A and B are shown apart, each in its own frame.
Chain A
């Protein structure tokens, strides 16, 4: 059984157009014409074409976009046109990097249907995605200038609020844990980038965005232990959906503790 230490990517440095649309118009049905307008207005980049294959045959294509586009959209929605343009420009540079095209090609070779969970990455694709993560994060320059993103770590809080703290401790902001949960960053130790708009006086607007980050954990690539991703499709997916639907509203089964004595910290 092979055992190797590899960095485990926790988030893709690429997003799909659906991801961008959800950031631009949360809860609104996707509109192709509206999305194309974002591109012509320079609010999102052109993306990189990623072909899809199934059974060895062409099965359509999709575009992948640098995750920095999410930040650009966010800045645009917050009225920070200059910053949005800057981020969009950086996103375009990342998409022009040969590694992004190679990543898209390898994804096509793996016959992906949706972006697989990042924990499932292996081989050259894992290397590329790791490098793209580092390239993406390099564009986040920690700074305390107005409008610039500030790197921060989520610390434990109280009464529904977490504390976001910059590495040099100079920025400490109380922020809603529920809102952090909406970007999957509610747990202590998570890293975010803070967009801070100083309104003068005691007022400011803070918008945290998730950082693309790497994890390091021993990972086994063969045998019983280690990633074994499966994206069920067709009849299998339908069966799973039916199981979930049938179960809706029923309480979860409680553990039968007959014959067991749990320790106090359970």
Chain B
């Protein structure tokens, strides 16, 4: 039984691994996440010009097998949210995706999604150029597990995005 997961940086060389990553069990909102991990995450992280947003990808895996991807997580410097025109500074959770094969598994009594969140929190805290305190994630209105994760982790304030019907922001100050 795995008692801990190792966290390593996402690299461009992970592209073949990610094209095989499965986190969806069928619903459209899960397919969307899976498609992004398979086809969009590497480009999002490493595209020229992306560095300005400080994108960071993390891979969670059993310590003895770095290619057995149990979860992926990614974050970047928050932009696009403001209050009365004042930018909200902090971290945007771009994705947390748990492999379907290990969904429901607990490691040290903890949900894998929560472990991935903590990995993001730890990584974001260490970024140079100090990010502000806000933490935000865009979630599908249909994605109950994502919303539950946000609730557990203190991202409880919902903001509607005018150009994104069917989705909303969850923000918080963990």
A-to-B contact residues, CB < 8 Å: 1, 3, 8, 10, 113-117, 119-120, 122, 186-187, 189, 215-218, 220, 223-225, 227-233, 236-237, 239-241, 243-244, 247, 252-263, 265-266
Are B167 and A224 in contact, with the CB atoms below 8 A? yes
Given A255-B118, A260-B5, verify A240-B88 contact (CB < 8 Å): yes
A117 touches B80 (CB 8 A): yes
Given A117-B87, A223-B32, A261-B5: A243 and B157 interface contact (C-beta under 8 Å): yes
| CB-CB nearest in chain B for A3 | B40
- With A1-B32, A10-B52, A255-B122 as contacts: A218 and B107 at CB distance below 8 Å: no
Binding site of B, secondary structure by majority: helix, strand, loop or mixed? mixed
A218 close to B47 (CB less than 8 A): yes
- Cα(A120)–Cα(B163), bound, Å: 10
Whether B159 contacts A225 by the Cβ 8 Å rule is no
> Across the interface, do B40 and A218 meet the contact criterion of CB distance under 8 Å?
yes
Across the interface, which residues of A come within 8 angstroms of B129, CB to CB? 186-187
- A232 and B52 contacting across the interface, CB-CB below 8 Å: no
Beyond A253-B174, A259-B110, 6 additional contacts (C-beta under 8 Å) are A120-B80, A215-B49, A217-B44, A232-B83, A243-B157, A252-B125
Tell whether, in the assembled complex, residue B33 and residue A244 are in contact, meaning their CB atoms are under 8 Å apart: no
Assuming the contacts A224-B140, A255-B121, A261-B4, asked whether A241 and B80 have C-beta atoms less than 8 A apart, the reply is no
Q: Give the bracket for the number of chain B residues in contact with chain A.
A: 35 or more
Return the contact of A217 from the options B6, B47, B119 (Cβ within 8 A). Answer: B47
- Chain A positions within 8 Å of B157 at CB level: 239-240, 243
Measured in the bound complex, the distance between the Cα atoms of B48 and A8 in whole Å is: 11
Contact flags (1/0) for B121-148 with A, using CB distance below 8 Å? 1110110010001000011100000000
B52 touches A256 (CB 8 A): no
Q: Establish whether residues A259 and B4, one from each chain, have CB atoms under 8 Å apart when the complex forms.
A: yes
Query: Once the chains bind, are B115 and A232 in contact (CB under 8 Å)?
Result: no
**25 A–B pairs (Cβ distance < 8 Å), ordered by A:** A1-B32, A1-B35, A117-B80, A216-B47, A223-B167, A224-B29, A224-B139, A225-B36, A228-B80, A228-B163, A229-B80, A229-B81, A230-B159, A232-B84, A237-B83, A241-B83, A253-B154, A255-B118, A259-B108, A259-B115, A260-B4, A260-B5, A262-B119, A266-B122, A266-B123
Q: Complex formed: what's the CA distance from A260 to B52 in Å?
A: 28
